Amino acid sequence: MNRFWHVRSARTLTLAISFAILLAASMILALSCILRLADGRWPGIAEQGIDALLGLRFNDNLAVIAMAVLAVLGLVLMLSALVPGRRQSILLTSDDPSARSEQAISCRGISTLVGHEVERTDSVTRARVKTSPALVHVRVQTPAHSVQRVQDNAQARVQAVIDGLPLQRAPKVKVSVQRRGGN
């Protein structure tokens, strides 16, 4: 089955850049229009810009450069919308191999499950979990002197959670323990 439409990340950076550019342009245009309505004439910079635009011809260097920049910006935005981002989920095994649908669990969901389970481990005060389709990385804080024992217990709990999920490809598990607090 084609996995092209499998759950992908949001394009937040592209959206933020597009939003900032469009917001700045609309704010400048709105301010210019408000000043035009208040004074009865365009502000100096806007008037110079309008005159420059009216004097441009298609074969002028400035016009060609502006068209090229806008074309490249449009192409970049279009490609960032069409090209799928990094996967944010892991496929689950299906009970029915003839089914034409797929089921997945989000990496955030796995992080939540693992985080709750690790925080129930003895001597663990805090657990931070980052999950990708290939790796579950757990950072544990403990006040205990026996860091190795805490790491082994946390590793066993994380592995039990991952083994309990019907994942097509189980990610690797990495647990790191940091000693904080205590005497």
- Per-residue pLDDT, 2: 47
Which amino acid is present at 41? R
> Does the model's pTM come out above 0.75?
no
| pLDDT of the residue at 67 | 86
pLDDT digits (tens, 9 = 90+) for 73-129: 888 878 877 776 667 888 888 766 666 777 888 889 999 999 999 999 888 999 999
Confidence of residue 60 (pLDDT cuts 50, 70, 90): confident
Which residues lie below 8 Å from residue 121, measured CB to CB, with a gap of 6+?
140, 150, 153, 154, 157
Least confident of 31-40, 48-57, 107-116: 48-57
| Confidence grade of residue 7 (pLDDT, cut at 50, 70, 90) | low
Contact yes or no for 52/65 (Cβ under 8 A): no
How distant, in Å, are the alpha carbons of 64, 77, 106, 116, 143 from that of 130? 47, 29, 12, 13, 22
Percent of the chain with pLDDT over 70: 87
How does pLDDT run across 121-152, given as a tens digit for each residue? 888 999 999 999 899 999 999 998 888 999 99
175 and 99 both lie in a single domain: yes
Regarding whether 94 and 77 lie in a shared domain, the answer is no
Q: Which domain holds residue 108?
A: 90-179
- In this structure, which amino acid lies at residue 165? L
CA dist., res. 118 & res. 122, Å (int): 9
Q: Are residues 77 and 133 in the same domain?
A: no
Q: Which of 82, 100, 123 is the last residue of a domain?
A: 82
End-to-end C-alpha distance for the chain, whole angstroms: 56
Of the three residues 28, 55, 82, the one that is the final residue of a domain is 82
